[in-house]
Chains A and B, each alone.
Chain A
Amino acid sequence: MRPGLSVILLLAFLLHGCSRSGDRTQIPSVDVEVDTPSSLQTGEVVIRYRLIDRRIPARVAGVRIFYSMDKEKFLPATGGEILTTTTVYSRTPQPSATHCFLWDSMADTGTCIGEVTIRIEREDAGTGLMFRRGETQPFPLLNAEPAITLESRVFDPKLPGADSMDVHVQVSPPGIDYDVAMRIVDAATASPVRHLSGASKLPGGKPEKVAWDGKDDLGRFVDAGDYRIVVEAGYEALPVWTHEETVHVVRLGVAGLRFLDNGLNGTEYQLMFHRRNKALYAYYAIPDNRPEWAIGPDGGEVSDLDLNTGAPRPAPVPWQDLNSPPQDPGDPAGVEDDTYNLPVCYDRASTPRIQLTLGSSSASCITPIRACGCNYPLSGFPIRVIMSNGFPATPGENENLSPGGKVDFICLSPLPDEVKKNLLGFSFTFEYRDGDAWHPIPGSSSTEHTVYTLFDRPKLTTSPTPLPPDLPWVSMVDLVCGWIDGPATAEDVCEAVTRNVNTYFGLRYGGVTNPYSRMNDFRLSEFIEDYNNKTFRNIYCLDCAFLVSAFAKTAGVDHENVILSSGIQLNYMILIGKYWMIPYTYFAWHAVVSRDGGTTLSDACCTLDNDGFPGSPPHQAILPVNMPYDYYKTLLSKNPGNYGISEFRTYLVR
């Protein structure tokens, strides 16, 4: 020992001895007896010990308690609940005051498995008191902790595709198998709603995925609300370790999609059905101030998103009847206006703008015919909607949603620059924000739509706000889009329409008079009715002209009916549905169509002879489509110079 250090120790001893003269004379020892826990311990461990001080009188002093996982390195032990604040020494070991120290082992060791030793020392050590520290024998300690990782903190089990939400469970530490149980508890009532099945024995450290389908033990969807997912891990007789997380069960979904004009980037055209009910001439314009796609409660139903049973309301598929809207006897007007999916019409190459309306209510599966809320907005978890192939018209408009809210989206890509029937699909997903990050909510809503693209604004009327029957008819639009089905010029539209009127319907010339036409009146409803029933009457030229012009106007290319008169001395021709003949000596008059004020003519009624000798066999067939006026007359008649255009006929479509 160095001389300097010896001097310091000596001085310290002397000073201490001066202040405690009694101790210096007796110097009794103090013993510590520590009980070693007899079984596997966890969490708060009770350490029992006794301090035996044989001095008279016994003293009061504090102790310091340490723990060690390896018997070498001792660290201060964290007290749990303090059972005794002052440690009283006793003079004899038995009976003696037994003191307890409640060790919060989890706070010190974290999750662990192993042997631990507890050491107890006098707090005022160094006073010269003979104090023999005490230790337990190493005893087993297991501190375990289950952990839950949720796929999503926000969950709508009724959202299509959200079959279940994954709950990842893992118990630490590894090395042993735990008994694991999971349950879902209603956060509001604390009543259990579902016991989740998983592996009953789970090896420590191994993650286990358990899926919750959002249903209770009876297989019913739980109502929208907050739920706690509770996991319990146990080992032998130890108290269970538990962990829980809250999941917000919400009800999300699209209740309406309304197609809108998109300014210069796209014009929507209102469509109509030519039958609203069983009667002809009762029309139905698809409302342009309501969604074209919607789900909603019919009479007696309590929710838009769900049926009264609580089951999610099926998404309507595109309405296939081209003649009339879906019927609803319970609706005053007889038209289904709650849940439907009606066709849409745009200018070609338009970029649709779509207004989405969120569902506003759900229905309980637990208590039928009971409306529930949607359980959002959620405090701290704003929700947003994302359209698969579109973006919000106003940035951020799709965030912080509330039930019944509306969001405008612009499609990412334009519709085809074609006259066409398109099937357009949208998918809507939802996300919630937790902190700075957005997290997906399982599932999505998908919709499909029939979207027709026309050449231009329909020309059935010059009115800027046409009313039925001057709106484009769904049945007509469907036919003309099917005929063209691709890119088209105005000439192409005329050609497709003329050729299809000539061949598509299987029409035959004959009978006596134009069955569907009067001079200024085209009974299109009856024509389509007969088309549907395959019961056409034989037709005449005015019917053909009306059909060509009506279809072409529907597609957006203006055509006029042109009356040629009079006394048209005929060449050979194939009247529609017939064969080569000179049908009559004369036509008193003849109706054709023109899209350019009579410069060219189209005629779906008469296929003419184009071999240079139209008045005699053989024949070379040509259907007049955009044919120069003068040339047309030379093919049609023997006396082209003796007649001409007498009138451009306007007409009503009924």
Chain B
Amino acid sequence: MNPYTLLLIPALLGAPASADEILEAARKAYDFRAWPGKQGLLKQGLDLRSVDLSPFAIGTVRTRLSPQGCTRIFRYHRNDAHQTKRPRPIFEISLQVLDTVAGAHEGLLEILSLCQARMPAGGSLGIHVGDVSFATRKDGAFKMIVFARNNILVSVYRFPVPRPRGKANHADIASIAGTIDRRLLRVGDTVCMQGLARPVIRTFQAEETTIQADTPVLLALEVTEPGKETPDIFFEEGGGMVYMHEGRWYFRAEKPGAYTVTAHAVSKRLLAARKSTRIRVRAGEKSSR
């Protein structure tokens, strides 16, 4: 498909005036109400590391935290690329496990709303993944595929291929999306949010809620995990610093103020829990150093 393909696609959305209205316009333009799968069960997440996507291997992993959940971004390079000092990423998979099916659909809609031109439905391009999917093609290959399967939002993006371009360098992200979706279909499900095998943050609070500037305070963090695995812990530090020292978590801030610190416990299958605590920092003696 040549670069002008999208030009032919009717791109005129409604007449939005703000972020909410742009989202609303996208809701209409993409016929959000008609999206299938809204009644689907909740999937128990997916550990993408367990999915064989040969001949590609995970290069880097990023974790994005947000109130809606945790997004993991996996960048893949070729299996043999580890011999290269800085392997070039071939494609990227972004995976987010949400608490609800509606949440996954809203997330997909937000992605679409940020497109300046309308993104074709996957089915129209022969992509049949997820409950609902959208895709674009470029240079004869799929450029990006986004889809929602139950409460799981997946985006597969192919990096531009440096010149000289060769077909062999293209990753077939349609096939990759299909592999992931098939795995998702095999993942167990549950009917309600409480049934998700999410980590549980039982305790997250500072030993003292008011501390002096530049003085560490112990953070009591108790996390239980339904499975045997140990969840990853991330923090939104709220402007201060959270760090582990001798196996325990501490918070420290230099400036006086009210800080909100949020702990995220994320399982390998990207099921996540979060809990916040507030710590007031008052002016202390300035460090002599």
Q: Which A residues contact B (CB, under 8 angstroms)? A: 256, 276, 279-285, 287-291, 294, 296, 332-334, 357, 465, 467-468, 508, 510-515, 517-520, 523, 526, 529, 533-535, 537-538, 540-542, 563, 565-567, 578, 581-590, 646-647, 649
Q: In the complex, A56 Cα to B114 Cα: how many Å?
A: 139
Is B185 in contact with chain A by the CB < 8 A criterion?
no
| A contacts with B: majority SS | loop
* Besides the known contacts A567-B12, A585-B10, 5 further A-B residue pairs in the complex with CB atoms under 8 A apart: A289-B286, A511-B157, A533-B86, A566-B12, A587-B117
* Complex partner residue of A510 from B23, B119, B143, B238, CB under 8 angstroms: B143
Q: How many pairs of residues, A versus B, come closer than 8 Å at their CB atoms? A: 169
Contact with A along B82-123 (1 / 0, CB 8 A): 000010110010000000000000000011111111110000
Q: Which B residues contact A (CB, under 8 angstroms)? A: 3-4, 6-7, 9-19, 21-23, 25, 29, 62-65, 75, 86, 88-89, 92, 110-119, 136, 138, 143-144, 146, 157, 159-160, 213-214, 216, 234-243, 245, 250, 252-255, 257, 286-287, 289
Residue of A nearest to B216 (CB): A332
* Complex partner residue of A540 from B88, B116, B146, B213, CB under 8 angstroms: B116
Residue of B nearest to A579 (CB): B3
- Looking at the assembled complex, report how far the CB atom of B157 sits from the nearest CB atom of chain A, in whole angstroms: 6
Chain B hits for A566, CB < 8 A: 12-17, 25
* Complex partner residue of A537 from B86, B111, B157, B240, CB under 8 angstroms: B157
Q: In the complex, A288 Cα to B64 Cα: how many Å?
A: 29
Residue of B nearest to A466 (CB): B239
B112 adjacent to A513 (CB under 8 Å) = yes
Q: In the complex, A508 Cα to B160 Cα: how many Å?
A: 9
User: Contacts A332-B243, A583-B7 hold; do A288 and B254 have CB atoms under 8 A apart?
Assistant: yes
Q: In the complex, A465 Cα to B283 Cα: how many Å?
A: 13
B114 adjacent to A519 (CB under 8 Å) = yes
Residue of A nearest to B135 (CB): A512
User: Contacts A281-B65, A467-B239, A513-B112 hold; do A588 and B13 have CB atoms under 8 A apart?
Assistant: yes
Q: In the complex, A587 Cα to B286 Cα: how many Å?
A: 54
A567 adjacent to B15 (CB under 8 Å) = yes
Q: Point out which of A520, A535, A567, A581 has the most chain B C-beta atoms below 10 A from its C-beta.
A: A535
Q: In the complex, A289 Cα to B215 Cα: how many Å?
A: 13
User: Contacts A276-B241, A283-B237 hold; do A511 and B16 have CB atoms under 8 A apart?
Assistant: no
A280 adjacent to B287 (CB under 8 Å) = no
User: Contacts A281-B236, A289-B286, A584-B6 hold; do A520 and B19 have CB atoms under 8 A apart?
Assistant: yes
Chain B hits for A333, CB < 8 A: 241, 243, 245, 252
Q: In the complex, A510 Cα to B86 Cα: how many Å?
A: 24
Q: In the complex, A587 Cα to B7 Cα: how many Å?
A: 10
A511 adjacent to B3 (CB under 8 Å) = no
A535 adjacent to B18 (CB under 8 Å) = no
Chain A hits for B19, CB < 8 A: 519-520, 563, 647, 649
Q: In the complex, A61 Cα to B245 Cα: how many Å?
A: 94
Residue of A nearest to B6 (CB): A584
- Looking at the assembled complex, report how far the CB atom of B160 sits from the nearest CB atom of chain A, in whole angstroms: 6
* Complex partner residue of B64 from A517, A523, A585, A590, CB under 8 angstroms: A523
